[in-house]
Amino acid sequence: MGEHQTGWQKTLYEKTGQDVYFWNFVFLMVFTAIEVGAVYLSLTYGATVFALVSVGIVKFFGIAAFFMHLWDDERELTYTFACPFIFVVILFIGIAFTSPGGVAGLPAWCSPEFIGSYSPTAP
Amino acid sequence: MSYDDHDDHGHHGSWAPIIASLGTMLFLYGFSEASMGITAIGLTILVWGLFTWWKGDLPFDGSEKMGELKSYGTPFGGMNVRKAGIWLFLMSEVMIFGTFFGAYIRMRTNWNTHWTLRDKAQEAIDGGATGTVDSIVETCMPHHHINVAACEQATNGLVNNSFWFTESGPPAYHHVAAEYITADFWTLLPGAINTFALILSSFTVVLALKAAKNVDLEPRVRDKKVRNYLTITLMLGTLFLILKLWEWNHLIHDYDFTISTLAGSFFYVTTGAHGVHVFVGLVFLTYFIYKAHIGGWDQNNAQSIEYYGLYWHFVDLAWVIIFPAFYLY
Amino acid sequence: MNKNKVRVMSLLFVIFIALAATPQMTSYPTGLGTNGNNGCGCHSGGAGTTTVTVEGMPDSFTGGESYELTLTVSNPDIAGGEISANMGGFRFFASAGTFGAGENFTDLVQESEGGMTHTELGNDLRSWNVTWTAPDNEGQIVEFEAHGNAVNGNAVIPTDLKGNTGDAWGTFEASLPGAAALGGGAILIEQAEPFEVAIAAITFGIALFSLMLVYVFYRNNPDGFNLNGLTEWLKKWMTTTDHKEVGTLYFVFSFLFLLIGGIFAMLFRLQLAVADNDFLTQDQYNSFFTLHGTTMIFLAAMPMIAAFANWIIPLQIGAKDLAFPRVNAMGFWMLAFSSFLLYGGVMAGEGADITWTMYAPFSNSLGEKGASAGTTLFVAGIIMLGISSTLSGVNFIATVMTMRAPGVTWMKMPLFTWSIFVANAMLYLSLPALIIGTAYLYFDRTIGTHFYDAAVGGDPILWAHLFWYFGHPEVYVVILPAFGVVSEVLSTSAKRSVFGYKSMVYALAGIGVLGFIVWGHHMLTSGMDPTLRLIMMLTTMLVAIPTGVKIFNWLATLWGGSLVFKTHTLWALGFLVTFTMGGISGMFFPVAGLDTHFHDTYFVVAHFHYVLVGGTLFGMYSAIYYWYPKAVGRKLDEKLGLLHFLITFIAMNGTFWPMHQLGIEGMPRRYHTYSVDSWSELNSFITMSALIMGLAQLILAWNLIRSYKHGEKCGKDPWGGWSLEWTTTSPPPTPSFHEIPTQEDDNLHHVESNSGGMFSRMWKGVEPE
Amino acid sequence: MGPADYTIFWSLMKTWNFWSLVVGIFTFALLFYLIIRFRQISPKDETPEKLTPGVFPKERDNLTLELTWFIVPTILVLYLTFIAWQSMITVWVDPYSEDEDTFDITIEAYQWGWNFYYHDEILIVNETGNLSTFATPTGTEVIDGAVSIDGNLYLPCNRLIKAKLVTLNDGGELPVLHAPFIPEWGIKEDAVPGIETYMSFTPKETGTYDLFCAEYCGQQHSKMLAKVHVVGACG
């Protein structure tokens, strides 16, 4: 189980006496505190969403890379874990962002009329 | 859901699959018929099926003969088949939680929520309305009840009736869980503690695995350490579920944020599905603790704990995304 | 041995409780119809201590005659005389003829929802007069149904009353034969209730199935037949985890439900044979076509694919068994038990009538006008199907990825394994959308959430998106294995290797990916935004190209070969003909101008039956004739096979080709009746050929049973195939390969460099280091 | 029956039928030729590859052939997509642009029936002969805001009709999906509870046409019928 054989994990263990999982645990705790704090600063909508999303991604990376030791395992496992996210993105584009209100706000160049107007007259 | 069930004595077969399926059928049948008796029978049969499954696994010692196959060829050459299996199962779980979020975001982009209200209040202030964003929000929503007239007056006409209701009648403004949670510390506390609890339980599973793999511990001490770490994980998991149920109760009764509202349906079913995944993880954990208790884990078959750990970390990973999306945003 | 007996006894005891509980189904909230719906939702209504009588009924009606009927409601407990207001109410329905008010009752009774009921004023009486004018067609039996309610005048309920809430319902039923029905014309025997016909057919089928079970066991060793042996033999089958035995379970299960699905199809084809037919009532028709669709896809096509996948994949890649045998068995048993839930509603006369696509606002609606009460069980069954397919998905992908024998690299795998791998990958990644969608629907119907409810601000199209995100990959999951079978069969029958193996694999991968971005073409007229419709139209156009490449590859495979015409070859060639026609008719839908006409008409029904029956069923039949000798050691009879092929091929085209014309004429889909006469003769032709096609499948059933013992014996490789399954004995030993084989390679050995990342090593088919 | 020949449906159908026949005949001719020419004459026929069990057979492919049957269908499909795109503009996109003078109506669907509301006022002169065939109880004028008189729809000829589709939700009714479908004009659109969808068409001939419900809506889905009368002069 990745007994600190890679370089920086070994030095981390010697220097601090705690292995990479302990520090990963602390890392995640700190970021959860940041997340909850960010909400209480009552920033603007955009800033809060940005903070929440970025902390979320960082914690996602923390858990997936170290607790689920994708960092140490073969690269094929990371591909396996990444593969469904392509279909989650397709699902998001097709279902999440195209709610009745969502699509109406699209810019003109992306709507069919604009694309349609390029073509010669109807048959 | 540990998929370490490759069973070497394939020829004698196992009763577990048919019992578990019968249990699932009775459970779903009872739930559909709203008759709790049959639901309870179904659940017990399902758990009996799982225990039969694990009884077959108790002697598993991680050897090739006992079913620990090595995979061959690209892409998983040399890795245990069960490790590839658990990762493939997690692909399906990623899609399940992806769909939960997809449906949630689809609906959320249509709703007016406390965020849009704050933006509108800010706009009104820029347009000359008096007071701060918080004061306007307070006048519009005295402790979470909508006061349309006062709001229109406070934002001089910016937040009118069409902000709260669509013309054809259904509500345009949806109270989301985050509105109640971020407003009051005591409502946020269970969510925050749950996040700490789950991350801690992820950590203790990792410690249990390290203890099991640790060769220079002598067996009796090792078994005790593994069992204790796993028991801590079990307790943290139960704490998570209890706090979640308490929080639900608090939201439903004190804030009237029930499942018959649209935002409530999405909130309760998504966090509920995550709760079911945690509960199933805990049921599996009882098997691991029992096997640790009878000294079953050593460095050869500790990889089963590692595969269980993958599932448990995934459940924690899902919570790491659900928490900001449903509780804070 | 006694511990085993205890376990068996307790299992049977539990099943007995579950079945005993079935009749008092009181599904939320209107009950499953066994205690009868009380005719009106306006009062809470206790159990009926009220008696309802109707006088003035003739013993047989003459066409066009009108009769004066008096309906009286009486209830000794609720006197109702002294308190003036609201003493009684009624609702009166008849299956034919028209109602009117009795003399001087014009302001006391009114017409509502096709029947009669009391007016505000009429609420004070306990008996009312109505006139009923008989229909002209005297050759039928009219069913009367009246619900009477004795009310105690809205007064506060006096405590002495036996605790009912102030009103109690009673019902009255009678059937009145027409003149022609009674004496006059041919004696019209009491028409069997089609539900009883369906349930009788299913129970008879199950009884026949269990008899066949005992017979097959008996035939194994006739002299050693004893009951203890039977339980032992059953235990073997119920606890098996061997991929061959689970494959056989899947096959028998799917064949049984193929026939049951066929029974439903034939029943509602009779209903559609002529205009304005009333062989089936609307509820029965709606529930029959729903069950036909769901049974054929989820309980017949996918299990048959799983049967061949279970049997053949481990043999073709040289593995001893699947990666997780017990998960494999659990996959089957989840599927088997889900059929109880799917069919639970039918047994109580309330089968799910929400179509196999279960569109949201209707499928989560309750009450009289909403979905039938059995729908909740149906949706629970769909969730169990989702669990079963996820489990078998994990299994097959893990097996193909990790347990291929040496020599069976990615680019030297048989095409059937490739097609099962891509199909299971697509199923496995698209299923969660269905599970979550049906879970939302299930909670809507059970615990009262409001996911798709427009009144609360919900979006009904969310269901359509979630369902079709699963739906379109699902139809590729159902067709890709048939592609794999046809590639194998044509190559073996023409004694040539498949033309362009690499382009076939790229086409499979192409379909696998494109299948996920085209689901919108099922919803082009459902109010999506034109931008999304445009994207979905473009991607759907692209999907036809990989399929076209595959068809040309199959044709090129025949070039220069020496084609033998065994039955499986005939089915593969039949597949090529019908599937190509289905593919071409499929190209009509991504066009806006055509789709606004063709959506939800019989043109769609024609297209998907050509692709499903012509594609998957013909492919699977070809697989049956091709691999039955490997599974059983005996060949199926060629003459019976030829007969079965000819009748089914002709009847299939006779059934589904005229539907194209009906679609162009605009006959809508899922219609209980139509009154446009010009559609009648096309529909009766379709019905006739559908019946022939249905009966032709019994030839295959007989062939399967007969050849098990009397088929011509065959060796390891009866057809001259090349893949690894033809190297083991037939039937293969358990576990399938005692020691893992190595697959040679006929191509010239230019040494591939071992470097490169995973993907390059994968495509170069290089051995691991 | 089937769409009238002036609809866009038939102009597309001709193209699609033509290309389907071309592709179909080519494929089937090739199939039957191959079956007849390369059938087994005697069991000892020699084929280039010996298929022996357990040995991956010699691969055979011909890049130019494979490229042609990849490129040619792609060109055909792109050409057909180009035409399909046009039909989308005329069917779904143009009608929603507000500038044209459209004849607005609202089609309201409820469980198992239709209500028609008129938002424009037209006067149909009675003496154009074919009017006598229709029972329009209130004479011939269609008044703004009028509701369907006898459950049927009266439309002017040769005007772009723009129908707003809604589902009746007055609390009592069960809002489910419906879809008005007029086969003779080849148009349909779902009426979705909660949102308004649009359907449009320009009838060019007077007469009576059937209106069906095309989205499954429960027990009497097949009974939701109505008649559409196109009245007035088709100048």
Nearest to A91 among C461, C469, C758 (CB): C469
Best to test chain C binding among B29, B276, B310 (most C CBs inside 10 Å): B29
- D103-231 folds as Immunoglobulin-like (2.60.40)
Contact pairs from chain B to chain C, CB under 8 Å: 250
Integer CA distances (angstroms), C136 to C178, C448, C622, in order: 9, 46, 52
Q: Rounded to an integer, what distance in angstroms lies between the CA atom of residue C734 and that of residue B64?
A: 18
- pLDDT of the residue at C198: 66
Asked if A112 and C466 come within 8 Å (Cβ–Cβ), the reply is no
pLDDT value at position D148?
A: 62
Exposure string (b/e) for C480-493, b if CB count within 10 Å is 16 or more? bbbbbbbbbbbbbb
Of all residues in chain C, what percent carry a pLDDT higher than 70? 83
Q: ipTM of this predicted complex? A: 0.92
How many Å separate Cα C585 from the centre of its chain?
A: 23
Question: Is pLDDT above 60 for B5?
Answer: no
Number of other residues whose CB lies within 10 A of the CB of residue C359 = 23
Tell me the DSSP string of B214-233. Answer: -TTS-HHHHHHHHHHHHHHH
- CA–CA dist C248, B112 (Å, integer): 55
Chain A nearest C-alpha distance from B203 (Å): 6
Dist CA C314 CA C554 (whole Å): 25
Q: Which two tokens stand for residue D152?
A: 């049927």
Interface contact C721-D69, CB threshold 8 A: no
pLDDT of residue B143: 79
Contact yes or no for A61/B228 (Cβ under 8 A): no
C215-220 average pLDDT score = 76
Supply angle C-alpha B185, B191, B193, rounded to 5.
95
Q: Is C215 marked active-site? A: no
Alpha carbons D98 and D90: distance in angstroms, whole number: 14
B101 contact partners, CB below 8 Å, separation of at least 6: A88, A92, A96, B321, B325
Q: What is the pLDDT of residue C480?
A: 96
C367 touches chain D (CB under 8 A): yes
CA nearest C666: which of D225, D106, D108? D225
Residue A118: the pLDDT is: 43
Q: Is the pLDDT of residue D67 over 50?
A: yes
Say if residue C45's pLDDT is above 60.
no
Interface of B with D in 158-197 (CB under 8 A): 168-170
Task: Tell me how far apart the alpha carbons of residues C232 and C230 are, in angstroms, rounded to a whole number.
Answer: 5
* Spatial separation of the C-alpha atoms in residues C75 and A65, rounded to whole Å: 75
Percent of chain C with pLDDT over 90: 47
- Determine the topology of domain B183-328 in CATH: Four Helix Bundle (Hemerythrin (Met), subunit A) (1.20.120)
pLDDT for residue C139:
64
Stretch (H or E) spanning C232 = helix C227-239
Q: Residue A80: which H helix or E strand, with range? A: helix A75-91
Report the range of poorest mean pLDDT among B176-185, C269-278, C653-662, C757-766: C757-766
Domain extent listing, chain B: 1-57, 114-173, 183-328
Least confident of B139-143, C307-311, C630-634, C672-676: B139-143
Q: What's residue A113's pLDDT?
A: 62
Q: What is the rounded CA–CA span in Å between residue C607 and residue C59?
A: 50
User: What residue has token string 């998905």?
Assistant: C393
Across B155-159, C62-66, C361-365, D22-26, the highest mean pLDDT is recorded for D22-26
Q: Which of A26-35, D86-95, D119-128 has the lowest mean pLDDT?
A: D119-128
Please, which chains are in contact with B (at least 3 CB pairs closer than 8 A)?
A: A, C, D
pLDDT of residue C114: 73
Contact across the interface for B95 and A77, Cβ inside 8 Å: no
What mean pLDDT, rounded, does chain B reach? 87
Yes or no, beta carbons of A112 and D86 under 8 Å apart: no
Given a contact as 3+ CB pairs under 8 Å, which chains touch D?
A: A, B, C
**pLDDT value at D39 more than 80:** yes
Enumerate residues 6+ apart whose C-beta is below 8 A from D51.
C491, C492, C495, C496, C497, C720, C721, C722, D57
Residue D165 belongs to what H/E stretch?
strand D161-167
The yes-or-no verdict on residue C418 having pLDDT over 90 is yes
Catalytic-residue membership of C276: no
Check pLDDT > 90 for residue C458. no
- Per-residue pLDDT at D29: 96
A115: distance to nearest CA of chain B, Å? 26
Taking an 8 Å cut-off on Cβ atoms, the answer to whether A85 and B94 are in contact is: yes
Using the Cα atoms of residue A97, residue A100, residue A104 and residue A110 in order, give the sign of their dihedral: positive
Low-confidence winner among A48-57, B222-231, C33-42, C331-340 (lowest mean pLDDT): C33-42
Maximum alpha-carbon separation in chain C:
105
pLDDT the model gives residue D135:
34
Tens digit of pLDDT for each residue in C532-575? 888 898 899 999 899 999 999 999 999 988 999 999 999 999 99
- Per-residue model confidence as pLDDT tens digits over C664-673: 999 999 999 9
Q: Which of D12, D14, D60 to mutate to test the interface with C (most CBs of C within 10 A)?
A: D60
Closest CA to C679 of C664, C694, C691: C664
State how far the alpha carbon of B209 is from the alpha carbons of A66, A119, B283, B302, C717, in Å: 14, 64, 18, 7, 50
> Which subunits have 3 or more CB–CB pairs within 8 Å of chain A?
B, C, D
Distance CA(C766)–CA(C407), nearest Å, equals 9
| CA dist., res. B90 & res. B277, Å (int) | 12
Q: pLDDT at position D123, please? A: 57
Neighboring chain A residues of D90 at a CB cutoff of 8 Å: 122
pLDDT range class, residue C157, cuts 50, 70, 90:
very low
| pTM of the full structure | 0.84
- At D56 the three-state DSSP class reads strand
Query: What confidence tens digit (pLDDT) does each residue in D96-116 have?
Result: 566 567 788 889 898 888 888
Distance from CA of B97 to the nearest CA of A (A): 9
Name residues 179-238 of chain B within 8 A of C (Cβ).
Answer: none
Within 493-532 of C, beta carbons closer than 8 Å to A belong to 516-517, 519-520, 527-532
Which is catalytic among the residues C474, C595, C637, C725?
A: C474
Interface test mutation site (partner A, options D8, D11, D81, D85, max chain A beta carbons within 10 A):
D85
pLDDT in tens, C474-512: 999 999 999 999 999 999 999 999 999 999 999 999 999
Which residues is C74 bridged to in the sheet?
C51
- Catalytic annotation, pick one of C547, C557, C567, C689: C547
CA atoms of C268 and C291, how far apart (whole Å): 11
Q: Which of C243, C550, C607, C609 is an active site residue? A: C550
Contacts of C424 (CB under 8 A, 6+ apart): C309, C392, C393, C396, C397, C477
Task: Note the pLDDT tens digit of each residue in B17-44.
Answer: 999 999 999 999 889 888 888 899 999 9
C18 vs B81: CB contact, 8 Å cut-off?
no
B76:A85 CB<8 A: no
Supply C536's token pair.
């979905």
The Cα of C191 is separated from the nearest Cα of chain D by a number of Å equal to: 22
C240-727: CATH superfamily: Cytochrome c oxidase-like, subunit I domain (1.20.210.10)
Supply the DSSP symbol for C56: -
Query: How many whole angstroms separate alpha carbon B85 and alpha carbon B269?
Result: 27
Q: Is C661 exposed, middle or buried (0-12, 13-18, 19+ CB in 10 A)?
A: middle
Contacts with A122 from chain D: Cβ below 8 Å: 86-87, 89-90
Domain ranges of chain C: 51-177, 194-238, 240-727
Nearest CA distance, D136 vs chain B (angstrom) = 31
Chain C neighbors of D28, CB-CB under 8 A = 577, 580
pLDDT (tens digit, 9 = 90+) per residue, B131-161?
888 888 888 888 778 888 888 888 888 888 8
Of the pLDDT bands very low, low, confident and very high (cuts 50, 70, 90), residue C695 is very high
Comparing A86-90, B118-122, B316-320, C644-648, the range with the smallest average pLDDT is: B118-122
C389 is catalytic: yes
What integer is the mean pLDDT of C403-419? 92
Is residue C249 over pLDDT 90? yes
Instruction: State the pLDDT at residue C166.
Output: 53
Q: Best of B97, B99, B175, B258 to disrupt the C interface by mutation (most C CBs within 10 Å)?
A: B99
Does residue C7 belong to the interface with chain B, where contact is any CB pair within 8 Å? yes
Q: Band of the pLDDT at D31, cuts 50, 70, 90? A: very high
Cα separation, C664 vs B278, whole angstroms:
53
Rounded Cα distance between B157 and B90, Å, is 51
Q: Residues of A with CB below 8 A from C461's CB?
A: 100
Cα separations in angstroms, B234 against B55, B58, B204, B220, C121: 20, 20, 10, 21, 67
Q: Which of A19, A22, A101 sits opposite B109 (nearest CB)?
A: A101
Confidence bin at C189 (pLDDT 50/70/90): very low
Say if A75 is an interface residue toward chain C (CB within 8 Å): yes
Burial of C400 (C-beta count, 10 Å sphere; 0-12/13-18/19+): buried
pLDDT at C164: 39
B100–C436 CB contact, under 8 Å: yes
CB within 8 Å of chain D, chain C residues 230-289: 282-283, 286
> If you average pLDDT over residues B111-118, what whole number do you get?
85
Non-local CB neighbours of C586 within 8 Å, separated by 6+ positions: C544, C607, C611
Q: Average pLDDT, stretch C718-742?
A: 87
Annotated active-site residue C635? The verdict is: no
Question: How many residues would you count in chain C?
Answer: 769
In chain B, residues with a C-beta closer than 8 Å to the C-beta of D169 are 168-169
- Provide the CATH number for the domain formed by C51-177 in this structure: 2.60.40.830
Between C394 and B145, the higher pLDDT residue: C394
User: What backbone phi and psi angles, to 5 degrees, belong to C638?
Assistant: -70, -35
| Interchain CB contact of A37 with B (< 8 Å) | no
